[in-house]
Amino acid sequence: MASLMVSISGIRGETGSTFTPAVIAKYTAAFAKYMQGGKVILGRDSRVSGPFVTDLVKGVLAASGCTVIDIGIVPTPTVQLEIEHHQAAGGIAITASHNPIQWNGLKFMGGDGRFLNPEEAATVYAMADKNETDFKPWSELGSVTDDPGAIDRHIQKVKAISFIDVEAIRKRRFKVVVDTVNGAGGIIMPKLLEELGCEVIAINQETNGKFAHTPEPIPENLEQLSAAVKEQKADLGFAVDPDVDRCAIVDNTGTPIGEEYTLAIAAKLVFSKQMGRMAVNMSTSRASEDIANYNNCMFVRSKVGEINVAEKMKEIDAVLGGEGNGGVILPEVHLGRDAPVAAALTLQMLLEFGGTLQELRAELPQYAMVKLKVNIEGRNPDAVLEAMAEKYKEMPIDLLDGVKIDFENSWVHLRKSNTEPIVRVISEAATEKEARELAERFMDEIKASL
Ligand code: MG
């Protein structure tokens, strides 16, 4: 049984074991108190457990005097946008993101449409641990209304992005396969692509939460999409995770281009049009960094975690940011990862490039990444990392989040896990072979240090 995960990205657990009605009520009641009876936007992904969780969350919010606007089955970024649209005090997305079917969770957002930052989340969790509530008498209960217009408003926001030319994309008539893995993207992704003039072949579109394959949009889970792109002779394929904040791309030959390259394509487009700053997390590929540098644009790295990237972007007034897992953040729309935004930027870039997606991928900086883990059972992970930091102190080293060591043409990032007794070893180099050798070298060094 997996334990309940409580992190800056919200709470997550398995339905029937750790993500129980009591747990859901405890955290929702604390969040409702933190909202001080304000307006709360509520949306969910398509998970089978979604309806019961929604009913419960709605009930607790109303019992706490919050005005609830239920926007139905929507992407997490849609909840973020609707907080701004309704000038709400905050929002909750009921989702376990890319986790498998047995999981569900709550992502909490504040009044600016961003996730709670680490301090705000810590406040809410501390309130939950003390079972703090603010339940109201009958005369002060909150109301619940539905708003079915959220997805259309999200699509309009994407079509209004200054970097894209909707009419030009429409004329190109891209043929696109989109795999929404029976998640919340089944409505918004095909509709957006159709409004961008694409001939759309949607697979796993039904939003029933019975994921047709492992839902994380990483290459090994994209076989069905790859086959469909080849068979349909499509220009490209998009895959999104169940809550539609991550977007992966398959090229015209049916080959996944790697989720790191969604952000690189966005960077190539945005920096071809505007000078500006970019922020990504410490484990994101150098591909975007090279593109920013080539365009004389400032490039900054943050701690891992979407909210940390978003906070850094706000601090430096970035025009673009995100994470290498296919999470593109375009502040012009909002400060959250958004797969519809990523898809629209990709089509515009492909249109302007003029060739195929395979050719476009070949023009981007070439890197390969390898992710391994070392078991450190019984050891203090901080001490393990400190020993590595000491050993490499003469090198360009960054201790913002774990230990990152930059070499001339490669890097390695060592991070502890908050849930398992492991150290993650993430490396990047020009080729897969070099990246693997580098990661294995560090694995051996960590093992030798234990
Ligand atoms: Mg997600």
pLDDT per residue over 375-410, tens digit each?
999 999 999 999 999 999 999 999 999 999 999 999
Residue 265 has pLDDT above 90, yes or no: yes
Per-residue model confidence as pLDDT tens digits over 211-245: 999 999 999 999 999 999 999 999 999 999 999 99
Alpha carbon of 136 to ligand 1 centroid (Å) = 34
For residue 99, the CA-to-ligand 1 centroid distance in Å is 8
The rounded Å distance from CA 446 to ligand 1 centre is 31
What is the band of 3 on the pLDDT scale with cuts at 50, 70, 90? confident
User: Could you give the count of Cα atoms lying within 13 Å of 152 in the half-sphere of its Cβ?
Assistant: 3
Q: Residue 405 is encoded by which pair of tokens?
A: 């060591």
pLDDT at residue number 418: 76
Question: Which pLDDT score is estimated for 419?
Answer: 74
**CA-to-CA distance for 151 and 255, rounded, in angstroms?**
30
Closest CA to 79 of 103, 45, 54, 105: 45
**C-alpha–C-alpha distance, residues 425 and 407, integer Å:** 15
Cα–ligand 1 centroid distance for 315 (angstroms): 24
Structural contact between residues 336 and 306, judged by C-beta atoms closer than 8 angstroms: yes
CA of 209 to the centre of ligand 1 (A): 14
- Measure 246 CA to ligand 1 centroid, in angstroms: 6
Average pLDDT, the chain: 96
- Ligand 1 mean position to 217 CA, how many Å? 10
- pLDDT score recorded for residue 450: 85
Express each pLDDT in 64-112 by its tens digit.
Answer: 999 999 999 999 999 999 999 999 999 999 999 999 999 999 999 999 8
Whether 12 shows a pLDDT value over 80: the answer reads: yes
Q: Which domains does the chain have, with CATH numbers?
A: 5-148 (3.40.120.10), 154-363 (3.40.120.10), 368-449 (3.30.310.50)
Catalytic residue among 64, 97, 302, 427: 97
Reading the block at residue 52, the tokens are 């019961």
pTM of the shown model: 0.96
The yes-or-no answer on residue 97 being catalytic is yes
**pLDDT tens digits, one per residue of 172-192:** 999 999 999 999 999 999 999
Residues whose Cβ atom is located within 5 A of ion ligand 1:
97, 241, 243, 245
Confidence of residue 120 (pLDDT cuts 50, 70, 90): very high
Which pLDDT does position 108 carry in this prediction? Answer: 97
Q: Which residue has the tokens 């007794």?
A: 421
